[in-house]
Amino acid sequence: MNDHERGAAHDVRMRGFARRQTVEAALRWLDGELQPLSAEPLPLQATAGRVLASPLASEVDVPGFDRATMDGYAVAAESTEGATPYNRLPLIVIGDSLPGRPFHASVGVGQAVRIMTGAPLPAGCDAVLPAEWVEGPAARAAPQTEAPEAKPDATSDWGISALAPVSPGKHVGRLGEDIGRGTTLFQTGRVLRPQDLGVLSSAGISEVRVFRKPRVRLVVTGNELLPSGSQPYGCHIVDANGPMLAALVERDGGLVDFPGLVPDEHDAILDALHAAADVVIVSGGSSVGVEDLAPTLLAKHGDLAVHGIAMRPSSPTGFGRLEHRIVFLLPGNPVSCLCAYDFFAGRAIRALGGRTKTWPYRPIRARLTRKISSPIGRLDYARVQVVGGAVEPLAVAGASVLSSTTRADGFVIIPADSEGFAPGTEVEVWLYV
């Protein structure tokens, strides 16, 4: 079959769909096409929100030394045995240990080193006596040394008294207690959070391999449309799907290419389908109208694998391939567009970028206040509100009423094998936020 014949065979304009595929069948085809894109190395500072392409392990211990977890005095614990406010035990302070400026000599029984939080524990010490458990000239300047290897000046030693005992290991952070050498930090598929970058940096990791972000070309068609930011007039309406889709693609980890509206013209749409992208999303022109050109063009020049799905809204949805690109044909009606994106295009963008395919919505379970009806053989996407812990249906129709999604807290899915849910039925609600 040549290109013209393939296009004609899939041309449903003004004829309607002879049959509609199930959502499950459509997803089977789509999932068979989805593999994460190639990996790219990035500086650590550029990887927040990106997806790890390989596991990361630490090659060092964090911390790399025993350190104080309180301000006070590093001591051998046995030097404080029996100390009480009524039995003060004298200690000789022989130096300081500061963060980045350790005390290099060894500490004996009856001696102490003034130490700050995070500073290395000197040799001979196994505990830190907190400053509030000490009596003496705590503010006195301890010996200062310019050279790191300089030994303490014995003439400047000074005394304190321990008022309470400390046990071995008290107020001491041990080598590797945060991260041990060889520990796997994160697995493939991890979406890196800001605190993850902190952990990686502490382990000395400066570059990370992450999955490449999918490049997504938005093709919003419709001669009646005005660019976002315009004022509607006459029979012209302002594009709502472009800004909505751009935000959804960015949420799902894609790179948006949306240079502007595309007229309902054969050549303009065909050029847009050939964009330099991993995914092309066409909004509008996916149904059976005279100007619905995209399905025929995709069938003629590529592979229109799915067109017409047994769901409401979004039944005119289609998708397939054009060379290396996955192409989605989404309805122009805004609610249908949102629903089709959620079910199909968003799933693909997340998977290509190494993310989970599942919805980025939080599910809860609650009971219906009234019935939701649905015919057997069609999946329904019902917008709902959650009021006082109960679920109130808003609408299951009105695919052009985008404001219904802003009034809604989320949606309920009625499977194709169900006639709906009776009042009082506990249902799963997918919350938009």
Residue 400 confidence (pLDDT)? 55
Region(s) of the chain under CATH 2.40.340.10:
362-431
Region(s) of the chain under CATH 2.170.190.11:
67-173
Tens digits of per-residue pLDDT, 365-376?
Answer: 999 999 999 999
What CATH number labels 362-431?
2.40.340.10
Which of the following CATH numbers is that of domain 39-62+177-211: 3.30.160.270, 3.90.105.10, 3.40.50.11810, 3.90.1170.20? 3.90.105.10
**CATH class of the structural domain 3-38+212-352:** alpha beta
Question: 23, 379 in Cβ contact below 8 A?
Answer: yes
Longest dimension (CA), the chain: 102
State the Cα–Cα distance between residues 424 and 211, nearest whole angstrom: 45
* Spans in the chain with pLDDT lower than 70: 1-18, 138-156, 287-289, 291, 395-401
The model scores a pTM over 0.75: yes
Neighbouring CB atoms inside 10 A of 189's CB total: 15
Q: Quick one: tokens of 120?
A: 């290395």
Region(s) of the chain under CATH 3.40.980.10:
3-38+212-352
Residue 150 confidence (pLDDT)? 38
Neighbouring CB atoms inside 10 A of 311's CB total: 24
- Alpha helix (H) residue ranges in 51-109: none
User: From its phi and psi, is residue 14 left (phi > 0), alpha (psi between -120 and 50) or beta?
Assistant: left
Tens digits of per-residue pLDDT, 89-140?
Answer: 999 999 999 999 999 999 999 999 999 999 999 999 999 999 999 998 754 5
Question: 361, 413 in Cβ contact below 8 A?
Answer: no
Q: Which fold has domain 67-173?
A: Molybdopterin biosynthesis moeA protein; domain 3 (2.170.190)
Task: Indicate the burial class of 73 (C-beta count within 10 angstroms; 0-12, 13-18, 19 or more).
Answer: buried
| Residues in contact with 5: Cβ distance below 8 Å, sequence separation at least 6, in sequence order | none
Region(s) of the chain under CATH 3.90.105.10:
39-62+177-211
